[in-house]
Chains A and B, each alone.
Chain A
Amino acid sequence: MTPFTYARADAPDAAVRLGEGGARFLGGGTNLIDLMRERVEAPGALVDVSGLSQAIEETAEGSLLIGAGVRNTALAEHGLVRTRYPLVTRAIVAGASAQIRNMATVGGNLMQRTRCTYFYDVEGSRCNKRSPGEGCDARGGFNRIHAILGASEACVATHPSDLCVALAALDAVVHVEGAGGARTIPFGNFHLLPGETPDRETALEPGELIKAVELPPLPIAAHSRYRKVRDRASYAFALISVAAALRVEGGKVAEVRLALGGVAHRPWRAHAAEAALVGAPASEASFLAAADAELVGAVPLRDNAFKIELARRTIAAVLSDLSEAGA
């Protein structure tokens, strides 16, 4: 690692000031320290923000406001999250290991970077995300874990988070603070598609701090699931994942939320599938048709065509589960 300074922030505005000066925020460190050791990242200053905002509070409007410093385990085990938003708990416990979940913060989870192996290989590979304009070795290389939706000529990486797939389905809201003051960002606008600038991954401005993530009240979220398909039963990133909530009335889909992980540069909210589902019979045939409506634009790379069929089947399986469990 290249040398850096370390300081702990005692208040958000102090952190923002240091961030403005070029310091990087440090949560649990489970992603940033690794990337620094691999020399993908080399910040000259770290400001530890893990001690800020560790509260989970219910607002007067019935939202749940989750401080950016809340550890992933603390979020997963919170009573209101387990009962009102079980897909959030399920998504978290499907990720990483217990040790990593004890360290990782909510803010860091949103900001974690891709696991594309070429992105990590500073010495040997070209990567537009690491060095803009250099080229992308994944596009013609080993790309089994890469994107099938929303990719660009410049970058075919996926966003690795499980939690973020659940947050996308819930229309969470990200509360941030920067030099220009505080603002909120709808979750659907938070992560970006790669386009021409895969080095830009989120809507955050340089130095802007995530203060909290808000889960809006959403009764159907109490009937929700998260399913992750991976190469081993535990402690592996998703090949495909599906977060869903469903309400069926008189045999027809009355309300549905659906998001996919492992398919794109950002957690993928499946709007096309949702639109196809509302009012349709709650049957496997409609679930598969909705999956097809979402995946019609999928573009496979050399090694990842299997993801299209896997996503299709996993979407149908999760929706069938929810519908059978009495949506």
Chain B
Amino acid sequence: MALIVNGIEAPPPADPRVSLLDFLREHLHLTGTKVGCNQGACGACTVIVDGRRVLSCLTLAVQADGASVTTIEGLGTPTALHPLQAAFVEHDGLQCGYCTPGQICSAVAMVEELRRGVPSNVTADVAAQAIAATREELRERMSGNLCRCGAHNGIIAAIEDAFGLETAA
């Protein structure tokens, strides 16, 4: 078997101890994905596996064998930015940029969760099928991605803009 990383097949590492994060960065040299805490507490290492946002630091590369992995390199390139990358630039969704790849991967998959109607901790009626994309919802849904620079307002504005979300408050 193999992992499909940004559409390209990569055989899994021989040593099962290698995390998906180290596999991407050290073996495939896809250094867009960042190492923050390496213990699940910051979201810097967020990538998309089979459509779901996950933490690559707490995933063994062998666990993702056979799965399709999308990293920031697979979303956009310097000459062809993903609309959310362009919106981050436009809305100052970053300062140092360290958390940014994780923020962007997270947000891209978050919008799918929102459209699917996955409830969050601030959803008033968890039985409701459709959930309004309020700012409060977006903030809660992005709370797994910390930003030490405090660029959160710009991050939320970029997400609203890129995905055409009408937020009430």
Majority secondary structure of chain B interface residues (helix, strand, loop or mixed): loop
Question: Which B residues lie at the A interface, using CB under 8 A?
Answer: 15-17, 19, 38-40, 43, 46, 52-55, 58-60, 62-63, 106, 110, 113, 116-121, 123, 126-127, 140-141, 143-145
Complex CA distance for A42 and B63, rounded to whole angstroms: 18
Query: Does A59 interact with chain B (Cβ within 8 Å)?
Result: no
Majority secondary structure of chain A interface residues (helix, strand, loop or mixed): mixed
Query: Are B17 and A3 in touch, CB under 8 angstroms?
Result: yes
Taking the closest CB of chain B, its distance from the CB of A295, in whole angstroms, is 26
How many A-B contacts are there with CB distance less than 8 Å? 94
Q: Which of A30, A50, A86 contacts B40 (CB 8 A)?
A: A30
Complex CA distance for A83 and B126, rounded to whole angstroms: 8
Query: Are B106 and A4 in touch, CB under 8 angstroms?
Result: no
Query: Does A310 interact with chain B (Cβ within 8 Å)?
Result: no
CB-CB < 8 A to A33: which residues of B? 19, 58-60
The segment from A91-99, A135-143, A203-211 that touches chain B is A91-99
Query: Are A234 and B143 in touch, CB under 8 angstroms?
Result: yes
Could you list some 13 contacts between A and B, CB below 8 A? A3-B15, A4-B16, A29-B58, A30-B55, A82-B119, A83-B127, A89-B119, A93-B121, A97-B43, A98-B106, A98-B113, A99-B55, A234-B121
Query: Are B119 and A235 in touch, CB under 8 angstroms?
Result: no
Give the one of A38, A100, A102 with max B CB within 10 A.
Answer: A102
Query: Are A76 and B59 in touch, CB under 8 angstroms?
Result: no
Per-residue contact bits, chain A 100-115, to B (CB 8 Å; 1 contact, 0 not): 1011000000000000
Beyond the given A6-B16, A90-B121, please list 13 additional residue pairs across the A-B interface where CB-CB is below 8 A.
Answer: A29-B60, A34-B39, A77-B117, A83-B127, A86-B126, A97-B144, A97-B145, A98-B106, A98-B120, A99-B55, A99-B144, A103-B54, A234-B121
Taking the closest CB of chain A, its distance from the CB of B63, in whole angstroms, is 6
Taking the closest CB of chain A, its distance from the CB of B11, in whole angstroms, is 15
Complex CA distance for A82 and B17, rounded to whole angstroms: 37
User: In which size bucket is the chain A interface?
Assistant: 35 or more
Cβ-closest chain A residue relative to B62: A6
Q: Which of B63, B116, B126, B143 contacts A97 (CB 8 A)?
A: B143
Taking the closest CB of chain B, its distance from the CB of A239, in whole angstroms, is 16
Query: Are A99 and B63 in touch, CB under 8 angstroms?
Result: no
Query: Does A46 interact with chain B (Cβ within 8 Å)?
Result: yes
Give the one of A33, A38, A98 with max B CB within 10 A.
Answer: A98
Query: Are A235 and B144 in touch, CB under 8 angstroms?
Result: yes
CB-CB < 8 A to A97: which residues of B? 43, 143-145
Give the one of A3, A37, A38 with max B CB within 10 A.
Answer: A37
Known A37-B39, A234-B140; judge A30-B58 contact (CB<8 A).
yes
Query: Does A1 interact with chain B (Cβ within 8 Å)?
Result: yes
Known A48-B63, A97-B143, A235-B144; judge A103-B55 contact (CB<8 A).
yes
Taking the closest CB of chain A, its distance from the CB of B153, in whole angstroms, is 16
CB-CB < 8 A to B123: which residues of A? 93
Give the one of A46, A96, A100 with max B CB within 10 A.
Answer: A100
Query: Does A73 interact with chain B (Cβ within 8 Å)?
Result: yes
Give the one of A33, A86, A90, A97 with max B CB within 10 A.
Answer: A97
Complex CA distance for A73 and B123, rounded to whole angstroms: 14
Cβ-closest chain B residue relative to A97: B144
Known A6-B16, A77-B117; judge A86-B127 contact (CB<8 A).
yes
CB-CB < 8 A to B53: which residues of A? 98-99, 102
Per-residue contact bits, chain A 274-310, to B (CB 8 Å; 1 contact, 0 not): 0000000000000000000000000000000000000
Query: Are B38 and A99 in touch, CB under 8 angstroms?
Result: no
Query: Are A98 and B19 in touch, CB under 8 angstroms?
Result: no
Complex CA distance for A50 and B39, rounded to whole angstroms: 20
Cβ-closest chain A residue relative to B102: A99
CB-CB < 8 A to B144: which residues of A? 96-100, 235
